[in-house]
Structure 1
Amino acid sequence: MEIAIATNSDYGYLKEHDHHILQSLILHKIKRNEIYILRDENENNIGWMRYGYFWDNTPFMNMIWVDEQNRGQGLGKQVVLYWEEEMKHRGFKLVMTSTLANEGAQHFYRKLGYRDSGCLLLENEPLEIILTKKIM
């Protein structure tokens, strides 16, 4: 698997598959180098990881996705660890993410060393668990 910074040529793939972001923001995130694309050995896009900044100063992983046929191979773990190293090299000491309490992703993040750090409860939504990890 290859992990690469998304480029404008990845826009069509992201627009088609990432339904958790306004389409108008995808190019903005690409321009800011805030999306990593996962590619298989044939250079086909098979997933992505997108992030931003909480409080404008703490890297926050907004979304990680691996196409269903490529799951269970450790690709998600690889991209998270890659991102953490990138953030560490940029001088950050803490990263964040979140997941809904009714999603299994919380267990994935805890296995990678993320710790529960709070929650957010929005009307008519499941509890959102906030997770952090020190990367010093």
Structure 2
Amino acid sequence: MAIEVIAASDENIPWLIASDRHVSEAWVRRCVSLGEYLIARQDSSPIGFLRFSWFWGTIPYMDLIYVLPDNQRRGAGTALLQVWEEAMRERGARLLMTSSMSDEPEPQAWHRRNGFKVSGKLTFGNLQPVPEVFFIKPL
């Protein structure tokens, strides 16, 4: 089955609220209103999403990419990334950013396979003692 990637709309908000457990409902609504979510669909049903923001207001930053467990390793994440990259390129971006926890080797490997390179690490004290690994990808 073909994977379709679309910009999230208001009709996707209930699914995003249920699926994106890292942020509040208000944040989901904000991101949808600003066009900062992409949805991967199969047979018109959502199977994954990519949420992004803007680091320093200028660098596209992939906050989170998520694919439902039964749909992982079938190209949805790559499709989301490719559509996002092209959209950011069209908006004049010359660099993409993302990150992963240092104790998550699988997501880090996925980023590397998709052309991202490690740029540095940060810790956030008691808020997040495990270092966050930052990745960049020139466009």
Determine if the TM-score, normalized by the shorter chain, exceeds 0.5: yes
Shift, 1:22, TM fit: 1.8
Residue 75 (structure 2) pairs with residue 74 (structure 1): yes
Distance 1:106 1:126 in 2: 14
Residue 88 (structure 2) pairs with residue 84 (structure 1): no
Out of 115, 126, 135, the position equivalent to 2:130 is 126
Residue 9 (structure 2) pairs with residue 12 (structure 1): no
Distance 1:132 1:97 in 2: 7
SS in 2 for 1:126: strand
SS in 1 for 2:79: helix
Q: What is aligned with 1:27?
A: 29
Shift, 1:116, TM fit: 0.5
Distance 1:45 1:78 in 2: 13
Shift, 1:9, TM fit: 0.6
Distance 1:43 1:134 in 2: 32
**Share of identical aligned residues, percent?**
30
Structure 1's consecutive aligned runs of 4 or more residues displaced over 2 angstroms after TM superposition are: none
Q: Structure 2 length as normaliser, TM-score?
A: 0.93
SS in 2 for 1:73: coil
Summarize the alignment of residues 99-114 of structure 1 with structure 2, pairs less than 5 Å apart.
Answer: 99-103=100-104, 104-114=106-116
Distance 1:81 1:43 in 2: 19
Q: Structure 1 length as normaliser, TM-score?
A: 0.95
More strand by share: 2
SS in 1 for 2:26: helix
CA distances 1:32-88 after superposition (whole Å, capped 9, x unpaired): 111001110x20111100000001110000000000000111211121121111101
Shift, 1:123, TM fit: 2.2
Distance 1:37 1:75 in 2: 9
Paired letter, 1:113: G
Shift, 1:26, TM fit: 0.8
SS in 2 for 1:127: strand
- Superposed CA RMSD: 0.9
Paired letter, 2:23: I
- Paired residues, number: 134
Structure 2 regions of 5+ residues with no counterpart? none
Contact 2:39 2:80 in 1 (8 A): no
